[in-house]
């Protein structure tokens, strides 16, 4: 298994866990871009949002069910931003679908 985030899910690489359930794992980003920066990922390996289909979308909906719980656990009651980068132009560096949850301050309006 060569995927970094699959290794984190398997516990082979340490991470700062924020939340987990049967289908989802969430942990602090190692290089935070905001006071709160958590990555929410499906346990199922899906390469990116461009690879979501009828067979794996149950894992994606589980991620979106988990995000409000992650936000509450992190005290993001004033709002937050959810981002997923896709492929080369999207600057996706880890090829395991992940959603950045950013908050803890008023975020910039510009998104690229
Ligand atoms: P992306 O650029 O959208 O693919 O996001 C990948 C994210 O993973 C970046 O924000 C990195 O800081 C983060 N990251 C890389 N390695 C680790 C790690 N071992 N633990 C936590 N976050 C990581
Ligand atoms: Zn993976």
Q: Is residue 111 part of a domain?
A: no
Residue 1 has pLDDT above 80, yes or no: no
Q: What is the mean pLDDT of residues 30-50?
A: 98
109 located within any domain? no
The tens digit of pLDDT for each residue in 60-87 reads: 999 999 999 999 999 999 999 999 999 9
At residue 98 the predicted structure's pLDDT band, cuts being 50, 70 and 90, is very high
In a domain, 91, yes or no: yes
The answer to whether 5 touches 96, Cβ cutoff 8 Å, is yes
On whether residue 68 sits in a domain, the answer given is: yes
Cβ proximity of 40 and 70 under 8 Å:
yes
Question: pTM of the prediction?
Answer: 0.98
CA–centroid distance, 110 to ligand 2, in Å, is: 30
19: containing domain: 4-103
Residue 110 covered by a domain? no
Active site residues: 98
Nearest Cα residue to atom 15 of ligand 1: 30
Mean pLDDT confidence for 49-67: 98
Is residue 20 domain-resident? yes
Q: What integer is the mean pLDDT of 11-29? A: 98
d(CA 80, CA 104) in angstroms, rounded, equals: 7
Q: Which of 28, 27, 5, 12 is nearest to 92 (CA)?
A: 5
CATH code for the domain in which residue 8 is found = 3.30.428.10
Q: In this structure, is the dihedral angle defined by the CA atoms of residues 11, 14, 78 and 75, taken in order, positive or negative?
A: positive
Number of domains forming the structure of the chain = 1
């Amino acid at each position: 298994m060569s995927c970094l985030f699959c290794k984190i899910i398997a516990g082979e690489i340490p991470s700062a866990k924020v939340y987990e359930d049967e289908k989802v794992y969430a942990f602090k980003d190692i290089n935070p871009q905001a006071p709160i920066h958590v990555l929410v990922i499906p346990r199922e390996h899906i390469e990116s949002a461009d690879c979501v289909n009828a067979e794996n979308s149950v894992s994606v909906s589980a991620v979106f069910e988990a995000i409000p719980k992650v936000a509450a656990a992190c005290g993001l009651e004033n709002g937050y931003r959810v981002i997923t980068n896709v492929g080369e132009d999207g600057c996706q560096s880890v090829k395991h679908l992940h959603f950045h949850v950013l908050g803890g301050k008023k975020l910039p309006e510009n998104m690229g």
